[in-house]
Amino acid sequence: MADYSKLPKADMIIVTHDHRDHLDPKALESIRTEKTILVLTETCATRVKGGIVMKNGDVKTIGGLKIEAVPAYNLVHMRSEGVPFHRKGVGNGYVITFGDKRVYVAGDTENIPEMKALQNIDCAFLPMNLPYTMTPEMVADAAKAFKPRILYPYHYHFGETDTQQLVELMKDTKEVETRIWKTK
């Protein structure tokens, strides 16, 4: 785990869902102050106090930013038959508007219809963490549908996920620039 005590204190923290790799109360407390704005799902709000709750579909202006809560859920990948890793209506992705720029952080999700219907996204962060989220093919399918100007796959394991597969799948979609994080 990362040492969050060495990071600057946060002005705003936006949490997508209550799984421990997204909601770590101890990490939150190490970067949170009494003035930190905390945006949570309903489920997260049962574990962390003092936040602003957003449900799927909510749009709020918080800390001067327009924040839209987009559903985040699984259609294909399941914990067991009929039990998805992420259920519809529980987690959020978020579209955050900074001035005239719209950034989409998908949370843990697959290439769901609500994602594919997004418009005017400048930068999208899409998860590629099997078996919990999307395959490179699913990420490419979604990105080709809503065409963010910049695409970052995230939430994957370095050395385990073939990010070049995504680059190859996106090579003919010139209106989307696919960027891959560099490892040390």
Please tell me the pTM assigned to this model: 0.94
H or E element at residue 166: helix 163-170
Tell me the pLDDT tens digit for each residue of 123-143: 999 999 888 899 999 999 999
Among candidates 21, 15, 130, 143, which has minimal Cα distance to 72?
15
Tell me the pLDDT tens digit for each residue of 37-56: 999 999 999 999 999 999 99
Pick the CATH number of 55-178 from 3.40.50.1820, 3.40.50.300, 3.30.2090.10, 3.60.15.10: 3.60.15.10
